[in-house]
Copies of this chain bind each other. A is one copy, B any other.
């Protein structure tokens, strides 16, 4: 899907008429603070080959609006009430984002009220709209030391009109939606309903995905914390596999559609022999299949360590008549339910190795909750804080139906609807996956091969 410059423009509620209070909060008597130049933008693409494809003049090359503080803002801070909600599964950094939003909007914009809606979008329903938490700098001071979200979360959408009623009823001018695929979709519906009613409410999304599968984002917040924690489990399973007779260690990591956590954690742990991700199908049997390679590792090295993204090999479940079809309903967030590839691998490998006289010691770990519930590490703490600052600046400057994101290390504004228009996936021809292959020495594919072309210079 090709994007044009106009696809990347972000909607504004109207003209910015108020002076930013930064002039007072961030200056000494003689200095004034600094602001983003209104017109500046960041290119969507930055390789000569990609730009050449467009053949466009510079002014028409697809680009994002730069995030940051503006000299003139849309809302009168003294009149603003802001709301925050966190949706979907946990991810390191949620509390850091909440804390950053509250501190920026209170301390620097001197807005006097921020409401936290509880338990995800359920908190925006009529039944729960009055059960909010008053979010003050004092209340949020230390919340970043814990994982999770002090607001609670839930999966599942809610009626857009009922949610708009809530915003009106609680006097919300700016609504921050921190969420994943489902949350960004809900924020889109919510803001469309707001626009339909002609209301003056800004909706800013802060994209959250532990799988790193949302587009237009270098790496989603919490991703580094998550894969760092995941490496501990790879190490654990590697220790177990090495200590047992014909040890087979398998770690199933998060990654429904994208193998980023599996790939990064495998590179960091440097103990994986085989990495399996959703982007690259694999075969179990045959001379080039997974089982043959597993057997070879056990024979030569005594053990094998497999890192498995939860969404890998879904096509195999169907083949094996396993409940992937039925399982492939959707959960409350609209996510596909995945069949259990971990179970299939354990069973297949055990059967195969036993058959060839290498009865294995099988060690399987699925650490899911233990990875996603941790507090953000130092890097993600900084990232979340700066992302929260960008979100507040965007909202105060009247941007709406927009998400804040980091694009090749610059903070930018992205139209909300684009955040759910595609998935970020590991490029099988990109240099991240290339490094995985170089490190594990596994073959490019298990089973019948595909044609490969040029390696693409990725920036994942």
Residue among B264, B270, B365, B458 making CB contact with A370, cutoff 8 Å: B365
B-contacting 9-mer, from A9-17, A33-41, A163-171:
A33-41
Taking CB as reference atom, which chain B residue is nearest A410?
B459
Q: Min CB distance, A83 to chain B, in Å?
A: 18
Please tell me if the beta carbons of B46 and A66 are within 8 angstroms of each other in the complex.
no
**Would you list which residues of chain A between 25 and 44 have a CB under 8 Å from chain B?**
25-37, 39-43
Q: A28-B449, A218-B409, A386-B431 are in contact. Are A242 and B152 (CB under 8 A)?
A: yes
**Would you list which residues of chain A between 56 and 90 have a CB under 8 Å from chain B?**
58-59, 61, 63, 66-69, 90
Q: A267-B381, A365-B369, A409-B408 are in contact. Are A49 and B43 (CB under 8 A)?
A: no
Residue among B146, B411, B456, B457 making CB contact with A431, cutoff 8 Å: B411
Q: Which residues of B contact A149 (CB under 8 A)?
A: 243
Q: Which residues of B contact A432 (CB under 8 A)?
A: 386
We find that the number of chain A residues with CB closer than 8 angstroms to chain B is 116
Q: Is A161 an interface residue (CB 8 A)?
A: no
Q: Which residues of B contact A104 (CB under 8 A)?
A: 438
Taking CB as reference atom, which chain B residue is nearest A233?
B370
Please tell me if the beta carbons of B245 and A122 are within 8 angstroms of each other in the complex.
yes
Please tell me if the beta carbons of B49 and A46 are within 8 angstroms of each other in the complex.
no
Q: Min CB distance, A297 to chain B, in Å?
A: 15
Q: Is A192 an interface residue (CB 8 A)?
A: no
Of A233, A270, A363, A460, most B-chain CB atoms within 10 Å? A270
Bound CA span A270–B90, Å:
21
B-contacting 9-mer, from A195-203, A223-231, A414-422:
A223-231
Q: Min CB distance, A151 to chain B, in Å?
A: 8
Q: A46-B42, A370-B232 are in contact. Are A459 and B409 (CB under 8 A)?
A: yes
Q: What are 28 A-B residue pairs whose CB atoms fall within 8 Å in the complex? A: A27-B444, A29-B449, A33-B434, A33-B452, A34-B429, A34-B434, A34-B455, A36-B457, A37-B454, A46-B408, A46-B410, A48-B61, A48-B63, A52-B58, A69-B455, A147-B239, A154-B245, A218-B409, A232-B370, A239-B373, A267-B386, A268-B382, A365-B367, A365-B369, A379-B379, A408-B459, A410-B457, A410-B459
Top 5 nearest A-B pairs by Cβ distance?
A228-B378, A409-B459, A30-B449, A148-B239, A31-B449
**Contacts A34-B454, A267-B386 given; 14 further ones with Cβ under 8 A?**
A26-B444, A27-B452, A28-B449, A33-B437, A34-B434, A39-B48, A41-B48, A42-B48, A43-B48, A69-B455, A228-B378, A264-B382, A267-B385, A365-B367
